[in-house]
């Protein structure tokens, strides 16, 4: 069961993230509508000390269901 208070906190954090990083949100909005099963998503992280790490995933059908639900929640898309 999802805690309603936790969802409210996440909503507040999401609103702040959108305000702080509008280019990131726009990028996600544009690209999330283009990804399909088989798309490779890569993440790069660089820590303040210069340490770098990279990982990627190839999206499956189940992943796409998750992406579509996230799109509805995070971006407010009706698809």
Q: What are the residue ranges spanned by the domains of the chain?
A: 27-79
- Distance (Å, whole) CA 18 – CA 12: 10
Helix, strand, or coil here: 58?
strand
Average pLDDT, the chain: 88
Enter the tokens of residue 68: 């579509």
Sequence-distant (≥ 6) Cβ neighbours of residue 57 within 8 angstroms: 40, 41, 63
What was the pLDDT predicted at 71? 79
Strands (E), the chain: 40-46, 52-58
Rounded mean pLDDT, 39-43: 95
Rounded mean pLDDT, 41-50: 97
What was the pLDDT predicted at 63? 93
């Amino acid at each position: 069961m999802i805690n309603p208070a936790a969802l409210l906190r996440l909503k507040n954090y999401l609103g702040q993230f959108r305000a702080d990083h509008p280019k990131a949100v726009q990028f996600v909005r544009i690209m999330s509508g283009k990804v399909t099963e088989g798309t490779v998503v890569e993440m790069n992280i660089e820590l303040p000390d210069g340490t770098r790490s990279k990982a990627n995933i190839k999206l499956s059908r189940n992943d796409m269901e998750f992406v579509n639900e996230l799109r509805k929640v995070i971006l407010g898309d009706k698809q």
